[in-house]
Chains A and B, each alone.
Chain A
C-alpha cells in the first residue's frame, strides 16, 4: 500500500465529521438527556403523602459501600417507618443494589447527577432531602 493512503483515509473521516452534528455538549448551557436507567441520586418514593420505606434495613445490609443509615421508629398506628434515613453520597458507588434489594419498591435512582458541593456535611443526604419531589 502506498504510505500516503492511510493518511488520506484518515483525513476523509476528519473531513466528514466537520459536517456532522457536534458530540460535545456545551454544559452547563446545554443539558444532557439522561437515559431512563441512569443511576443518579436516590429518591425515596412517596405514597399517601408518606415515604413508602418501611425501614426494613435491607438496603443498608446489601450496600457494599455501607453508606446507608436507617433507624426504625414506631408510628402512632404501631407501624414501622424510617425515623432516620441517610445516604452518604461521598461513599456511594451508585451500584443500585439498594434499589434492587428494596422489598416494597420504596427507593429509586433518579437522573440527578449534579451532586458537587462545597462542604462534606452536604453530601449526607437526609430523609427530607431524599424524599421524591413530584
Chain B
C-alpha cells in the first residue's frame, strides 16, 4: 500500500495502482477518454491530466502514472480545467459533431465531457474529416470521422480478443483507425470494439437508428446461448429487445461478449416466433386455444411408460425439475436431454472419477493457473468468452498453453502455445499415453497411490506406452512425453475441454481419462488446478444437476429414439430440442418422428422437428421469464424477464405446471417456489435463494472424491481412400437456435466443410465449391472452405444448420469416414 494525498484528502492505494485507480478507489473522479479498466494503460488523450506537487506542478496523465508514496496530487485546478478544455476543443475541431443523428448520443464520453467542461465554442478552425463511412458491414458501422484516436478498439481486439483487426494508419493529422490495407472489416464480430468505443465511430448496425440510448430500459440478464454464463444487459423499448447494452462492470468477464451473445438476440422478437398453440387436424397444423391443446396433451400423457420426453438444456433449472416432475406424475422414467451422450462426460465420466457430475474447477481458475491444457482448439469456438480468458491468461500472466487437438485453431496462435495435432479419434489413447508417461517418469503425485483404482489403472495403461500410441496418433513419443512432463511439473495446471452434441468423442471414457491426469499429478482441489468440462448449452450443467437424464431403468435419448421407431414409445414430448437437425443420424431420427403415434413439441419456432408434430405449444424465450441457469463452472445465476410474453406464448414452467395440475398432481406455484424446492433437494444448491443469488450468482458446491478409472480407448480406425470428418461447433453458432439470430447468420449463414490446402490441391477443390460429402450413412452438399489449420486427411464441419443437415452423413461416431465429390 502507498499513502498519498489527492485533493487534500489522505488516501491509500495498492502498490501497483496508477493515480487514476487510486483516485477512483477513493471516490475521486478524474475524467478519462482513452483509458479502460480492462486494458493496459495507454495515455493517448490527455483528458486525465493532474498536477503532482513533487513534479513541480507539471501536468501528467493520471491513467499511466503509478501512484507513489507521499505524492500530493491535485485533480481540478483552474490550469487543469483549462488544459482539459483545450484537449476537448482540439478533439472537436475535426469531429463532425453530428450528435443528433449519431446513435452514441446520450452515452458518448466525448459528448458528456464537452457538456461537463462547457466547451461551447472553439478557438481553432480547421476542416472536418471527410473519410468514407463503412455502411456495407452488416454488424459494425465504422465512421472514422467521429474517431478520437483513443486506440481502445485496436487494443481490446488485440489484448483480449487476440484478433488484431485494427491499427493506426498514417501519421499526424491524417492518422486514422483502420483495418489491414484499409480494407473492409472481416473479423470474428464479437463487438468488443463497439462496446468500448467512447464515441460513435463504431456502432452496432443491427441497432442503427432503432432508439436513443436514454429511451431504452436496461434489463440485466444471462446469455442463453452457451454454458459460459455471460451476463448481459438487454436494451428494451416497446416490449422489444432492440440491442444488448455494454456494462463494463458486469460478470467475471467485465461485459465482454461473443458474436452470439452480443449480436444474436433477434430470436427474441423474431416474427417467426410461434404465437398460438397448433394442433394437427386433417394433416395440417392449425391454430387453436391453450385449453384444447393442453387437453389433447393431457390425454396423450396418460400413457405411462409409453410416454417419453426430451428436453433442451436451454430451459431453466426450475423448468427442468418441473418437466421431471411431470414425467414422474405420468409414471414414465423415460426422459433425457442432449441426445443422451453429450452429457455423459459429466453424468458418467466425472460421476465415477470425481464422485460428482460437475467440474471441480471454475473459469476463474484460468487466471490463477500456471499451465493450461486445452483439449480441442474448438474450446474457443464453443465458449468464446472462456477463450478470451485464456487469451488474457497467456498474454498478460504468462500462463503456458498446451493444446491437444485434431486440428489447429485460433488458440494455437497465442504466444508460446504448443499444439499437438493428433489423428481424429485418438485423443483417449493419447491422454492415456500421457498418464503412462507420468507414471513411468515417476512424475505422479505421492497422493495418487492411495486413490482407489490406482493399481488397476497402472495395469490398464501398460499397453499405452508413448511409443505405441505415437504410431496410431500421428504424434511422436517425445512430444507425448514432453507434454506429460510439462503438465506434471507445472506448479498449477488446469485442463479444459468442451463437450456437446457435436463432440461425440468426448464421452465418459474420455472424461475419466482426463480426470486421471489431474488425479495422478495431484492437480486437484487447489486454485488454478483441476478440470473444467465445458458443456454446450447455457444450462447444460443445470440439466445435469437437476437430474434430467435417464434414471436407472429409464430409456436414454438414444433408446427413446429407437423406441419411437419400434413402437415402444407412443407419445414423445420434446421441449425445445430440434433432433431432426441436431441429433446424429438424420434417417434414424426421422424414422422415429414419423413413426411415433403422437409428437408434442414446445418451442419458440416451428423448427424442423416441430413441423412434424401433432401438437405444438408456443414457448417463450429467456427474455420473457424468470429463473436460474447454471454455467459450466457451476455458477447459478438468476435472471428476470425483460419483456412481456410474445403473443399467447407461455413459459415452459407454466406449460408443465398446467399439465401437472390437469393430471391431478401438485406443482410449485412460481419459479421462486420451485427454486426453494431445488435448494432443499439438491445438496450443492443448499442455502441459495433468488435474493441471495443477486447479480453475481453463486457457485454450487462441489465435493470431489477422486477415483482412478481405467478408460477404454477406441481401437484406431481407418478407411483407405477416405477422409476423416469431425463435426463441431462454429464460432458464431451454438446449437440450432443461433439460426434465428441476425448477427450469427450474417457472419456464418450456412454449413461448410473445412479442408486442408493439401487435400484441396489433390482433389482440385477451391473455396466455395459445392461438394458432396458422402458417408456410409448418407450424403450432404456443403460449400468448401480451404484453410491452413486442418491437417491433411481431416475435414471439419459445423452441425448447426437445418438447411444443410450434417446429420445426414454423421451417425454420432467421433470420426466419420467420408468421400468428397465436386
Contact with B along A81-114 (1 / 0, CB 8 A): 0000000000000000000000110000000000
In the bound assembly, the distance between CA atoms of A55 and B209 in angstroms comes to 9
B209 contact set on A, CB distance < 8 A: 55, 72-74, 80
In the bound assembly, the distance between CA atoms of A58 and B101 in angstroms comes to 11
Are B101 and A54 interface neighbours, CB within 8 A?
Answer: yes
Whether a CB of chain A sits under 8 angstroms from the CB of B208 is: yes
B664 contact set on A, CB distance < 8 A: none
Are A57 and B208 interface neighbours, CB within 8 A?
Answer: no
Whether a CB of chain B sits under 8 angstroms from the CB of A119 is: no
A58 contact set on B, CB distance < 8 A: 100
In the bound assembly, the distance between CA atoms of A73 and B135 in angstroms comes to 15
Whether a CB of chain A sits under 8 angstroms from the CB of B39 is: no
Q: A56-B101, A104-B100 are contacts. A74–B208 as well, Cβ < 8 Å?
A: yes
Return the contact of A57 from the options B133, B135, B212 (Cβ within 8 A): B212
Whether a CB of chain B sits under 8 angstroms from the CB of A126 is: no
A3 to B: closest C-beta gap in Å? 66
Whether a CB of chain B sits under 8 angstroms from the CB of A78 is: yes
Q: Which residue of A lies closest to B212 (CB)?
A: A57
Are B215 and A57 interface neighbours, CB within 8 A?
Answer: yes
Whether a CB of chain A sits under 8 angstroms from the CB of B99 is: yes
Interface SS of A by simple majority: loop
B212 contact set on A, CB distance < 8 A: 56-57, 61
CB contacts under 8 Å to A, within B203-249, are 208-212, 214-215
Q: A55-B209, A78-B133, A78-B135 are contacts. A103–B215 as well, Cβ < 8 Å?
A: no
In the bound assembly, the distance between CA atoms of A78 and B132 in angstroms comes to 12
B105 to A: closest C-beta gap in Å? 8
Whether a CB of chain B sits under 8 angstroms from the CB of A79 is: yes
Q: How many residues of B contact A (CB 8 A)?
A: 13
In the bound assembly, the distance between CA atoms of A80 and B98 in angstroms comes to 11
Are A61 and B214 interface neighbours, CB within 8 A?
Answer: yes
A103 to B: closest C-beta gap in Å? 5
Are B100 and A61 interface neighbours, CB within 8 A?
Answer: no
Q: Which residue of B lies closest to A78 (CB)?
A: B135
Contact with A along B87-110 (1 / 0, CB 8 A): 000000000000111000100000
CB contacts under 8 Å to A, within B298-333, are none
B105 contact set on A, CB distance < 8 A: 56
Contact with B along A48-68 (1 / 0, CB 8 A): 000000111110010000000
In the bound assembly, the distance between CA atoms of A55 and B101 in angstroms comes to 7
A90 to B: closest C-beta gap in Å? 21
A73 contact set on B, CB distance < 8 A: 209
Q: Which residue of A lies closest to B101 (CB)?
A: A80
Q: Which residue of A lies closest to B205 (CB)?
A: A74
B111 to A: closest C-beta gap in Å? 12
Are A56 and B100 interface neighbours, CB within 8 A?
Answer: yes
In the bound assembly, the distance between CA atoms of A106 and B500 in angstroms comes to 56
Q: Which residue of A lies closest to B98 (CB)?
A: A54
A62 to B: closest C-beta gap in Å? 11
Which of B100, B133, B135: most chain A CB closer than 10 A? Answer: B100
Q: Which residue of B lies closest to A79 (CB)?
A: B101
In the bound assembly, the distance between CA atoms of A58 and B209 in angstroms comes to 13
Q: Which residue of A lies closest to B210 (CB)?
A: A72
B193 to A: closest C-beta gap in Å? 20
In the bound assembly, the distance between CA atoms of A74 and B141 in angstroms comes to 13
B214 contact set on A, CB distance < 8 A: 61
A78 contact set on B, CB distance < 8 A: 133, 135
Q: A73-B209, A80-B209 are contacts. A103–B135 as well, Cβ < 8 Å?
A: no
In the bound assembly, the distance between CA atoms of A3 and B193 in angstroms comes to 88
Q: A73-B209, A74-B208, A74-B209 are contacts. A54–B100 as well, Cβ < 8 Å?
A: yes
A74 contact set on B, CB distance < 8 A: 208-209
A76 to B: closest C-beta gap in Å? 11
B101 contact set on A, CB distance < 8 A: 54-56, 79-80
Are A103 and B208 interface neighbours, CB within 8 A?
Answer: no
A103 contact set on B, CB distance < 8 A: 99-100
Q: Which residue of B lies closest to A102 (CB)?
A: B100
A to B CB contacts below 8 Å, 19 in the list:
A54-B101, A55-B101, A55-B209, A56-B99, A56-B100, A56-B101, A57-B212, A57-B215, A58-B100, A61-B215, A72-B209, A73-B209, A74-B209, A78-B133, A78-B135, A80-B101, A80-B209, A103-B99, A103-B100
Please report A residues at the B interface, Cβ cutoff 8 Å.
Answer: 54-58, 61, 72-74, 78-80, 103-104
List 16 other contacts, CB 8 Å, given A72-B209, A103-B100, A104-B100: A54-B100, A54-B101, A55-B209, A56-B100, A56-B105, A56-B212, A57-B215, A61-B214, A72-B210, A73-B209, A74-B208, A78-B135, A79-B101, A80-B100, A80-B209, A103-B99
